[in-house]
Structures are given as structure tokens and as C-alpha cells.
Amino acid sequence: MTKPIALIAGGGIAGTVAALALDRAGWSPRVFEARLPGADEQGAWLTVAANGLNALRVLGLDPAFVLAAGFETPSLTMFNGGGRRLAVLPLGGTTTTIKRADLYAALRRAAVKRGIAIEYGKGLCDFTEAPGGVTVTFADGSTAAGELLVGADGLRSRTREVLDPGGPAPSYLGLLNAGGFTDGPVDAVEDRTPGMVHMAFGKRAFFGWTSAPDGSVWWFANPPSRQPVRPGDFTAASWREHLISLFEGDALPAAEIIRATGEVLGPWNTDDLPRVPVWRSRRTVLIGDAAHAVAPSSGQGASMAFEDAVTLGLCLDGADDPAQGLAAYEQRRRGRVERIVAVGRRNGSGKTAGPVGAAVRDAMFPLVMRFLYRKGDPQAWILEHRVA
Ligand SMILES: Cc1cc2nc3c(=O)[nH]c(=O)nc-3n(C[C@H](O)[C@H](O)[C@H](O)COP(=O)(O)OP(=O)(O)OC[C@H]3O[C@@H](n4cnc5c(N)ncnc54)[C@H](O)[C@@H]3O)c2cc1C
């Protein structure tokens, strides 16, 4: 029997994992990625949490193999700008830190190994649905037809726009993003235990850093900014200088880490998506950031993409009518991801406190953490979730 074809727009995290999940569920997936091979946005690094890793296991993928280029990240220490330790928080089992480019590459290798085609330079610009199928048009004028369309095309999803032209757009959260990697250890970094994540409420901006097993320091910064950044607002040199100036005078290694970094990445805006009311039609569905971008401070965007993709495969396995499978997918995913979007927003808002807010936060933070953790890990509902 011929397998039904699933067209997947986007070959990022959600798209490649959806391809693997649908392949396992008896579909014939085809992935269409807008960018050319090797042209992925470099991004910096991200953490994949225990719940995301467990979703991969459902596909028979060994997370240790997929994330071989990363390293384990057992805990997070929070500081204030004066260098005072505010709290040490467990991150839950096997949380792994990995460069974004390495994660994309590993997932695509896994897909290609299963014989799944990934076609590059194919940006979806439109689609039409008929009772028996869906036809997609790409920016280069070519088309593809199948029985299902999966919109895994990220935060600015074109699939989402076509599905619901009146739907919401991403909203800017008042924070910019920067990141980078040093070539080796940095003298100012005292705790070089590989994988220990440190985060600090600097006086003017938020900073996070960890040492990789090779001694290099991986870091990110979140400078507050009322306005989103536009192309051309900074040069590479002025961005680096701006970041250094924000951390000068803090009792943190931030300024020295930035000085020791060859290429400072960013700036990117921090956005999330308000509730997206329409996730699906009869033959089209949104997954990953296209459906529900969570703020980076939740540390859950990639893991949500894994969970979505694997759940979609489970719901479409043996479904006679794709529409029923898509309804089951939404029913299993919507409540959970919307709770996590709310957590990400709350975490991010603490990064932009003014001087008075910062003093209150520094005084209250250890107490609040002790209160929250008094009965165990308050994030357990996120980290211990199993999709199957
Ligand atoms: C600065 C920053 C830090 C982050 N840190 C973390 C973290 O620590 N932990 C974490 O879990 N998450 C983190 N995230 C979030 C995480 O990166 C995303 O949630 C995750 O990448 C979502 O995966 P996705 O596949 O839905 O989207 P993406 O990974 O963005 O992939 C979408 C893909 O679709 C392609 N595409 C776009 N438009 C089209 C089109 N029209 N047609 C075809 N293809 C298209 C894109 O080129 C891309 O390859 C961070 C995000 C940012 C911005």
C-alpha cells in the first residue's frame, strides 16, 4: 500500500523530529527547508531538558547519540550583579547543553539515515487544501502535493499566516539576546566545572555562562531594550562594546568573557507568541515555535518542539482520518504548552528589574526559591512529563 505523504515546512528542530515520528507512524515525510544547506542561523547554544530527551526515546533514538556534541548540565547557580550567590537550582536529570547548529545537524543526520528527504532552498509561501489533500507552493514557484501539511517553520511561520490570516503575530518581550563561545578558559571564571550553568542579574543586564568540557566558556546575555533591534542598529564592534559597557563594574566575569570571545553573536530580539487560536485545519497543523513560541528563559523551546513532533506522530499513527489525529494532537498539547509559555514570560520579566526592583528581588530570591522548592522541584510537572 502506498504511504500517505506528509509535507513538512521547516527543517529545524520540530520539522526533523516530526519527519522521524511520521516515518515511524507509517507516513512518507518530505521536509522542505527555506534556507540553503549550511546556512542555518548560527544561534548560540541551548539546553534540551529531560522531558525533551525522553520524547526522543519514544522514537527509538538514543538521546546520548543525538546530543553527542553537547554536555550534561546538572544545575544552575544564580548570582546578583555584586557576585552574591542567590540560589542553586537543580535542572533535572539529564539536561544537555548543545550548540544549536550541532543539534540541527544531528537531527538531520538521523532523518537522512532513515531515508527521509530534506530539500533545501524551499520556502513555503502558500498552500491550498482540497478534501483529499494539500498543495504547497514554494518561493521558487515549484509545488508539492501530499495528504498532510505540517507547519514547522518557526516563530515567523508562513504556514500559520496562511492558515489564519487574522491570527496573532509574535510579541517582543523587551529583551535582546547575545551569545558566544571563547576559545579556551577565561581567568575571571572561577568555577570551571563542566556543565555548571551560572546566571546573574547584572546591574544593567542579565548574563549566563558555563564551561564546556574543553574549557571554552559558552555564554549569553539579555540586555533590556524598549525597542526591538533592527538590522543595522549595531555593527559587530559597536555591539561588542555595548555589551561590555553593560557589565563593566559588575562583580561578574561577564565583561572579561565577552572580551575573550572571537565572534559575538546577535543581537536577536526575544519574542514569544500570545495564544495562537488556530493550530489546525483538516489537513494542516502547526508544531513547535510556529504554534507556541516560548521565551528562551523557559529553557523549553527545543523540548516542546520534540514533544509536539513525537505526539503528532503518535496521534497520526493508524488514524483513518488525519483530521481526527490532528484534533487529538491539539487536545494533548495545547494546555501544557500554554502553561509553559506563561512560565517563560514570568522568568523573563525578572531580568529587567530597575534598581529598586533589583534590591527587592535580590533580598527575596533565596527565600522565594526555598519556599518554591520546599516540597520538591516546582518544575517537576515540566521535566517529568512523558509523551507516551
Ligand atoms: C536566543 C535564543 C535562545 C534560546 N535558548 C533556548 C534554550 O536554551 N532551550 C530551549 O529549549 N530553547 C531555546 N530557545 C528556543 C528554541 O530555539 C526554539 O524553541 C526551537 O528552535 C523551536 O524549534 P522549531 O523547529 O519550531 O523552530 P526553528 O528551530 O526556528 O526551525 C524552523 C525552521 O523553519 C525554517 N523556515 C522558516 N520559514 C520557512 C518557510 N516559509 N518554509 C520552509 N522553512 C522555513 C527555518 O529556516 C528553520 O530551519 C532559544 C531561542 C532563542 C532565540
Task: Find out whether the beta carbon of 158 lies less than 6 Å from any atom of ligand 1.
Answer: yes
Q: Dihedral through CA 156, CA 159, CA 165, CA 168, nearest 10?
A: -40
> Which of the pair, 377 or 189, is modelled with greater confidence?
189
**CB 185 within 8 Å of CB 35:** no
Task: Find out whether the beta carbon of 221 lies less than 6 Å from any atom of ligand 1.
Answer: no
Q: What is the pLDDT of residues 37-77, one digit of tens each?
A: 877 656 689 889 989 999 999 999 888 888 888 999 888 88
Q: Whose CA is nearest to atom 4 of ligand 1?
A: 296
Task: Find out whether the beta carbon of 344 lies less than 6 Å from any atom of ligand 1.
Answer: no
**Helix, strand or coil, per DSSP, at residue 206:** strand
Q: Describe the chain by its helix, strand, coil percentages, rounded to 5.
A: 35, 25, 40
CATH number of 5-170+273-351+378-383: 3.50.50.60
Q: What is the pLDDT of residues 2-14, one digit of tens each?
A: 899 999 999 999 9
The chain-wide mean pLDDT, for the chain, equals: 89
Task: Find out whether the beta carbon of 170 lies less than 6 Å from any atom of ligand 1.
Answer: no
> Could you state, in order of their start, the residue ranges of all structural domains in the chain?
5-170+273-351+378-383, 172-271
Please tell me whether the overall predicted TM-score, pTM, comes out greater than 0.85 for this model.
yes
Task: Find out whether the beta carbon of 12 lies less than 6 Å from any atom of ligand 1.
Answer: yes
Q: Which atom of ligand 1 is nearest to the CA of 14?
A: 25
d(CA 135, CA 215): 49
Task: Find out whether the beta carbon of 9 lies less than 6 Å from any atom of ligand 1.
Answer: yes
Task: Find out whether the beta carbon of 215 lies less than 6 Å from any atom of ligand 1.
Answer: no
Q: Pick from 289, 308, 310, 383 the residue to mutate for probing ligand 1's pocket: most ligand atoms within 8 Å of its CB.
A: 289
Same fold: 5-170+273-351+378-383 with 172-271: no
**CB 97 within 8 Å of CB 218:** yes
Residue 163: Cβ-neighbour burial (10 angstroms; 0-12, 13-18, 19+): buried
Task: Find out whether the beta carbon of 288 lies less than 6 Å from any atom of ligand 1.
Answer: yes
For residue 168, what pLDDT is reported?
A: 93
For residue 330, what pLDDT is reported?
A: 98
For residue 20, what pLDDT is reported?
A: 97
DSSP H or E stretch at residue 150 = strand 148-151
172-271: CATH topology is D-Amino Acid Oxidase; Chain A, domain 2 (3.30.9)
d(CA 15, CA 162): 18
Of 263, 253, 241, the C-alpha closest to 202 is: 253
Task: Find out whether the beta carbon of 153 lies less than 6 Å from any atom of ligand 1.
Answer: yes
CA 101 – ligand 1 centroid, Å = 11
**CB 341 within 8 Å of CB 294:** yes
Q: Whose CA is nearest to atom 39 of ligand 1?
A: 153
